[in-house]
Amino acid sequence: MRPSGRAPKQLREVSISRSFTKHAEGSVLIAFGDTKVLCTASVLERVPPHKKGSGEGWVTAEYGMLPRSTHTRSDREAARGKQTGRTQEIQRLIGRAMRSVFNLEILGERTIHLDCDVLQADGGTRTAAITGSYVAARDAINHLLKTGVLKQDPIIDSVAAISVGIFQGKPVLDLDYPEDSSCDTDMNVVMTGKGGMIEIQGTAEGAAFSRTELIELLDLAEQGITELSKLQTQALK
Amino acid sequence: MRPSGRAPKQLREVSISRSFTKHAEGSVLIAFGDTKVLCTASVLERVPPHKKGSGEGWVTAEYGMLPRSTHTRSDREAARGKQTGRTQEIQRLIGRAMRSVFNLEILGERTIHLDCDVLQADGGTRTAAITGSYVAARDAINHLLKTGVLKQDPIIDSVAAISVGIFQGKPVLDLDYPEDSSCDTDMNVVMTGKGGMIEIQGTAEGAAFSRTELIELLDLAEQGITELSKLQTQALK
Amino acid sequence: MRPSGRAPKQLREVSISRSFTKHAEGSVLIAFGDTKVLCTASVLERVPPHKKGSGEGWVTAEYGMLPRSTHTRSDREAARGKQTGRTQEIQRLIGRAMRSVFNLEILGERTIHLDCDVLQADGGTRTAAITGSYVAARDAINHLLKTGVLKQDPIIDSVAAISVGIFQGKPVLDLDYPEDSSCDTDMNVVMTGKGGMIEIQGTAEGAAFSRTELIELLDLAEQGITELSKLQTQALK
Amino acid sequence: MRPSGRAPKQLREVSISRSFTKHAEGSVLIAFGDTKVLCTASVLERVPPHKKGSGEGWVTAEYGMLPRSTHTRSDREAARGKQTGRTQEIQRLIGRAMRSVFNLEILGERTIHLDCDVLQADGGTRTAAITGSYVAARDAINHLLKTGVLKQDPIIDSVAAISVGIFQGKPVLDLDYPEDSSCDTDMNVVMTGKGGMIEIQGTAEGAAFSRTELIELLDLAEQGITELSKLQTQALK
Amino acid sequence: MRPSGRAPKQLREVSISRSFTKHAEGSVLIAFGDTKVLCTASVLERVPPHKKGSGEGWVTAEYGMLPRSTHTRSDREAARGKQTGRTQEIQRLIGRAMRSVFNLEILGERTIHLDCDVLQADGGTRTAAITGSYVAARDAINHLLKTGVLKQDPIIDSVAAISVGIFQGKPVLDLDYPEDSSCDTDMNVVMTGKGGMIEIQGTAEGAAFSRTELIELLDLAEQGITELSKLQTQALK
Amino acid sequence: MRPSGRAPKQLREVSISRSFTKHAEGSVLIAFGDTKVLCTASVLERVPPHKKGSGEGWVTAEYGMLPRSTHTRSDREAARGKQTGRTQEIQRLIGRAMRSVFNLEILGERTIHLDCDVLQADGGTRTAAITGSYVAARDAINHLLKTGVLKQDPIIDSVAAISVGIFQGKPVLDLDYPEDSSCDTDMNVVMTGKGGMIEIQGTAEGAAFSRTELIELLDLAEQGITELSKLQTQALK
């Protein structure tokens, strides 16, 4: 029995609100249950040094948690003067996931900068961030297509992410905080709308996991991402 | 004529939403028109070194802007590795304003830590932050009174803030971004619900200002803060 | 009765020594009683990025306290690796005050960089710094006019600053450290030689202050700044 | 055909030299072909704050590359003043891998601190670091058992890691730099000597990967780790 | 011929002003010609961690240059966020020099913290700093003896420093900036009042130097330090 | 009697292994007994800002100790976020020493960047670093001459360094850690192959030292460097 009463294969309620703030080219508030992440996509007419003069663009991401998005207050990273290893790991993951569905040549020498800020955390912030970032990026690119800055669509597929894990000996989908903090194995899976695997990160928190468990977790993740892809499509209508 | 069409003495539409996020003891989303600031109040059962063993508590604040809360994307302070001078100036101001209505002895050796994060900026973020922080702090203290942690109320008055300025030669209340970025004089005023002045910060951006103009600005500010105090009271009902 | 025995409207003894050090284009040691600040003005033939190619110059300031300028030794900011919020607040104030009397177009694409270093602190370091910086900047500009680098004077007015406060229920001028550390209200006022107000920053340290008190404090400040302007003029003869 | 001429299932030549330096309780130079990593295990009679008073110990890791361990010189992280996101990601991975085979209660309130410094890089530095760290940690614990500091062995299994990837459409084991920099999918797998999975991190660098490819990669990884476990055992004899 | 017209064995005019600022237990402005350094000695009733509980005290130093103490403005280290290697080298040298004349056991568990801030630089700032720091430390210790905090004098000898160098092929004493910036060999020598050598740091800036030149330089330095010791004694009367 | 049983004038066993790692243009593992330093020389086709457009090249060095190169583990400088004063002092010394034997004009606008990383420390790491860096730099320059990038040799002499000290009242050559940590005087001497003195840094750790002792130490150092120069020549054959 899951603490939330959900069935093992059941996602939390997911909501995707576009145009949540007004300045960004794409601005999405995504909620996976009580986890709420604001994902904005900014179009910058410049690229980082390693892309200068290449004719190609760049897609990158930054991630942060508001200090009291968590159960107890965490230090503000800006005040501490550096981002934690966890933050850097997550923002690198979001950036790789988003780049996997972009043709950087068609994007041209500009950057899509995603900012994922967690307003409220209840487990699964990185998967919500990736799923919401795709919608924000889609909106930003649509804006560039509409205004004629881009003639061709640089986005080649959609992308979404979900967590799965072994909780009390049983594979479950979309871990919330009470599950995440006491599960044995925790796995984040990133897949495209067409079903290609982009990233899989599984970690044994307690006991090691077996090949059989891994397969079960992947099945669950695939089902969850199929649902998320549909929700992304609906939200973008 | 103001760009927004408002009358000189007219505030923007103000909304104050309590319990905006679920973990913080006080959590308020305050909007001054298109300026939206999330103010959370966290109760920490510890005090900074200079208060240890004093029997007194502490009230402090931190401030940040989400990178794309602004018209063009700003650098993330956590990624740059330091807070700007502007950020530090603002969070020091919020902290002083909030301490002015607290009896730190009655609070006891604990800290009320306010976090003011700007989700969307359109001028006046610091005044919205102070006005919202009061409501969040009130909720956090009510929680401590209700749970019996505190027997006596450490809050001695309410506090709110507003900006005023000389825009195109005329004193106006509650500057929005188009006004703020082109006004001659910009003044932030912090007052208590009982009408005491807590802080006044006036700056000539272009031409110097006169004593007469200063008085007119103070009159405007006083009127605005009276209105904000009422809105705080209504929100807390 | 003031701890120093001064009358409420009495400034401390002010001395302004020009050419205190030999390398800077302007170098002034200013004393407000026991507060001693070395203000140097350096001419740099470059501007910060936001002014490049604008045809305009820039005026900026940095502020620091020698570690043992204070009653007990303070940490050296260079060793701690960052400037405090207070330091940044003060140097931003000095910069704004100095820019208010400069025509940046006439200055041309160069920077006047003011460095205000407190050798000995006894209250009022920021007001001494502004008052001394004006004299240093004046000397630096005179040097540029004399050597023909500038044909026209970019300085449009003089500028000075003073603190005022409510000490033991009474408005007093030019707070020294014993007054500053126990006063109810503390206000710093920056005005030009022609009497225009540039900046006013008033803070209730203990009880809130009233409009009447504010007016009394402004009267005192105006009188003090008139005296300081005269002393600046004498020193520059 | 692999650039090195290796068969798809062939590891590079692996060598494990113990007692490579003299001060550390465990000191291992491990080579996966031209990749050479010095792994030292230090016993510290203290634990980080979150373990103080818990009766449990801690196992942690730090990772670094010598500036010219790479084809072109990289910046020295100590001189730049911070570790890159990649460095932090890797050292967090090594720490988790090592903790997975430790009983922290039996270890008692002390820390095993692993330092993995890359002397020469040719792909697979993180997997070499984990594989070598186990041997260094084993030596450090043996030292504690021998000197009677520990009565019972806190290590519950061995641990090793290997990379696998899709190179030119074909799954290959133990990627070297030429393969790593041009492969489609790159996966790092951490397993225990008993065959339990500890961590799996797979990333599509170019095209997405399929479930079938994932299974093939896991088969390869399992075979490679079985070989590495034997080499660890031999080295420890 | 030296640029200043001095004889090869001639010191610049040296002045030592005690009680230059009022808060520090020892405060000395020392001038070696146009080089002016403010040396303050602060008594702190605490010791750094490595001396806690040892019964011994500590003597340490920090060094800084005001940004416009030099011919052209240098960056403010506090604003850059770190001290340069040169600064750290110099403050470590001053600390070692001062500790060489202290009996730390007699000092007891307290720290003498020397701050050497260069108000005006014209070569030889580190030697002036050491020579002035001794006088400031002497004053601070005298204060502790007078107030009865110390019963016994922890200072066992005096200490002073001077630079010597090969300028245009000839050994000269006490290099000023024009000499320092174009000399072939530059040597700083620290000696005690009783004639013991404490530190010698000689560097070939251009051509290598010979043993004969080294001996000549040491002779010069010894003579200079003998003169400085007398000036210290006179100043302390 | 020396702890190691060596005669006072006896160097530790010195070994110099070239091409220790494969990527760097010069890569030398040098051992002075148990002190082992990896010195790599990298050729960078760029110069620092102060040399841009000068037609001259640059030679610079960085130094680091692996955290467990020492008896007890030291903090990793990259993790602490800054290099210690000691590290900066040493890398500045290595850079000066190496530049003393380079003709920067002949080198042309490129940089020889030396990285000296201590794998195992037992006293004398800086002298080993200089002695090994020369061999690495020689190899890097030979590579540039062989590939025709350079037509003329920019190296004008060889350079080596050794420590000497007064241990238990007696001058000894090449201090190891037990001697270094308890000696009275410690001196590092850098000389060229032709016998010119480049740098001499002598420090009284306990009692002051006399001129006679200084001369004895220099004699010892000269003898040691003559031996090291021969070993460098042999290694380069």
- Judge whether residue D233 has pLDDT over 90: yes
The per-residue pLDDT for A206 is 80
CA distance D155 to chain A (A): 14
CB contact under 8 Å between D208 and A96, yes or no, is no
User: Which of C82, C85, C204 is nearest residue B100 as measured by Cβ atoms?
Assistant: C204
In angstroms, the CA E166 to CA E173 distance is: 9
What separation in angstroms does the CA of F51 have from each of A21, F46, F58? 48, 9, 7
User: Which of B96, B197, B210 is nearest residue C197 as measured by Cβ atoms?
Assistant: B210
DSSP D11: P
In angstroms, the CA C214 to CA C27 distance is: 35
If DSSP codes are grouped into helix, strand and coil, which group holds residue B100? coil
If DSSP codes are grouped into helix, strand and coil, which group holds residue C105? helix
CB contact under 8 Å between E21 and C115, yes or no, is no
CA distance F155 to chain E (A): 14
CB contact under 8 Å between C210 and B197, yes or no, is yes
Give how far the C-alpha of residue D152 lies from the chain's centroid of Cα atoms, to the nearest Å.
Answer: 25
In angstroms, the CA E113 to CA B82 distance is: 29
CB contact under 8 Å between E204 and F197, yes or no, is yes
E interface with C, Cβ–Cβ < 8 A, is 21-24, 27, 34, 36, 38, 40, 42, 44, 62, 64, 66-73, 76-79, 81-83, 87, 113, 115, 117, 119-121
Burial string for A194-212 (b: 16+ CB within 10 Å, else e) reads eebbbbbbbbbbeebbeee
Residue E134, C-beta contacts closer than 8 angstroms, at least 6 positions apart: E98, E101, E158, E159, E160, E232
Q: Where are the beta strands (DSSP E) in chain D?
A: 14-18, 26-32, 35-44, 58-65, 111-120, 159-167, 170-173, 185-192, 197-204
Name chain F's partners: 3 or more CB pairs within 8 A: D, E
User: Which of A42, A78, A82 is nearest residue B64 as measured by Cβ atoms?
Assistant: A78
In SS3 terms, F180-199 reads as HCCCCEEEEEEEECCCCEEE
Instruction: Compute the CA torsion angle F220, F224, F226, F227 (nearest 10 deg).
Output: 140
Angle at which helix F85-99 crosses helix E85-99, to 10 degrees, equals 110
If DSSP codes are grouped into helix, strand and coil, which group holds residue F28? strand
Residue from E36, E68, E87, E139 to probe the interface with C (highest C Cβ count within 10 Å)? E68
The per-residue pLDDT for E205 is 84
Residue A124 in marked binding region: yes
D interface with F, Cβ–Cβ < 8 A, is 21-24, 27, 34, 36, 38, 40, 42, 44, 62, 64, 66-73, 76-79, 81-83, 87, 113, 115, 117, 119-121
The per-residue pLDDT for A184 is 87
Residue of B nearest to C185 (CA): B198
> Binning pLDDT at 50, 70 and 90, where does residue A160 land?
very high
The per-residue pLDDT for B97 is 97
**Structure confidence by residue, pLDDT tens digits, B165-210:** 999 999 999 999 999 998 889 999 999 999 999 999 999 988 899 9
Mean pLDDT, chain A, rounded, equals: 97
This model of the complex carries an ipTM of 0.95
For C64, list phi and psi in degrees, rounded to 5. Answer: -155, 155
Tell me the chain E residues in contact with residue C125 when contact means C-beta distances shorter than 8 Å: none
In angstroms, the CA D208 to CA A195 distance is: 9
Burial string for B52-87 (b: 16+ CB within 10 Å, else e) reads eeeebbbbbbbbbbbbbbbeebbebbbbebbbbbeb
Annotated binding site of B for phosphate: 86, 124-126
CB contact under 8 Å between B23 and A69, yes or no, is yes
**Structure confidence by residue, pLDDT tens digits, A180-206:** 998 889 999 999 999 999 999 999 988
> Binning pLDDT at 50, 70 and 90, where does residue A152 land?
very high
Give the burial class of C37: count Cβ atoms within 10 A of its Cβ; 0-12 exposed, 13-18 middle, 19 or more buried.
Answer: buried
Percent residues over pLDDT 70 in chain E? 100
**Structure confidence by residue, pLDDT tens digits, C55-114:** 999 999 999 999 999 999 999 999 999 999 999 999 999 999 999 999 999 999 999 999
Residues B38-61: what's their mean pLDDT? Answer: 97
For the residues of F117-144, what is the DSSP string, one character each? EEEE-SS-HHHHHHHHHHHHHHHHHHHH
- Judge whether residue E143 has pLDDT over 90: yes
The per-residue pLDDT for F70 is 97
**Structure confidence by residue, pLDDT tens digits, B80-98:** 999 999 999 999 999 999 9
Q: Structure tokens of D39?
A: 């792994």
In angstroms, the CA E209 to CA E216 distance is: 11
**Structure confidence by residue, pLDDT tens digits, A48-100:** 999 999 999 999 999 999 999 999 999 999 999 999 999 999 999 999 999 99
**Structure confidence by residue, pLDDT tens digits, F100-113:** 999 999 999 999 99
Residue from D87, D98, D100, D190 to probe the interface with A (highest A Cβ count within 10 Å)? D100
**Structure confidence by residue, pLDDT tens digits, F8-33:** 999 999 999 999 999 999 999 999 99
Sheet containing C58-65: which strands, arranged edge to edge?
C14-18, C26-32, C35-44, C111-120, C58-65
Percent residues over pLDDT 90 in chain A? 97
**Structure confidence by residue, pLDDT tens digits, C150-192:** 999 999 999 999 999 999 999 999 999 999 998 889 999 999 9
What separation in angstroms does the CA of C105 have from each of B191, B207, C109, E84? 39, 16, 8, 36
Counting one residue from chain A and one from chain D, the pairs whose CB atoms sit within 8 A come to 80
Give how far the C-alpha of residue D31 lies from the chain's centroid of Cα atoms, to the nearest Å.
Answer: 11
Amino acid present at A55: G
In angstroms, the CA C95 to CA C97 distance is: 5
Mean pLDDT, chain D, rounded, equals: 97
Residue A2 in marked binding region: no
pTM: 0.94
**Structure confidence by residue, pLDDT tens digits, E3-40:** 999 999 999 999 999 999 999 999 999 999 999 999 99
F interface with E, Cβ–Cβ < 8 A, is 82, 85-86, 88-89, 91-92, 96, 100, 187, 191-192, 194, 196-204, 207-211, 214, 218
Amino acid present at D67: P
Tell me the chain C residues in contact with residue B197 when contact means C-beta distances shorter than 8 Å: 202, 204, 208-211, 214
CA distance F205 to chain D (A): 25
- Judge whether residue D206 has pLDDT over 90: no
Helices within chain B (DSSP H only): 77-80, 85-99, 104-107, 125-146, 177-180, 211-236
For the residues of B57-98, what is the DSSP string, one character each? -EEEEEEEE-TTSSSSPPPPHHHHTS--HHHHHHHHHHHHHH
The per-residue pLDDT for E184 is 87
Helix (H) or strand (E) holding E186: strand E185-192
The per-residue pLDDT for B110 is 98
Instruction: Compute the CA torsion angle A41, A44, A45, A46 (nearest 10 deg).
Output: -120
The per-residue pLDDT for C74 is 97
Helix then strand count (H, E) for chain E reads 6, 9
**Structure confidence by residue, pLDDT tens digits, A122-141:** 999 999 999 999 999 999 99
CB atoms under 10 Å from CB of F124, counted, come to 26
**Structure confidence by residue, pLDDT tens digits, C11-64:** 999 999 999 999 999 999 999 999 999 999 999 999 999 999 999 999 999 999
> Binning pLDDT at 50, 70 and 90, where does residue F215 land?
very high
Residues D128-153: what's their mean pLDDT? Answer: 98
Q: Are D58 and D154 in contact (CB under 8 A)?
A: no
The per-residue pLDDT for D145 is 98
User: Which of C23, C67, C121 is nearest residue E115 as measured by Cβ atoms?
Assistant: C67
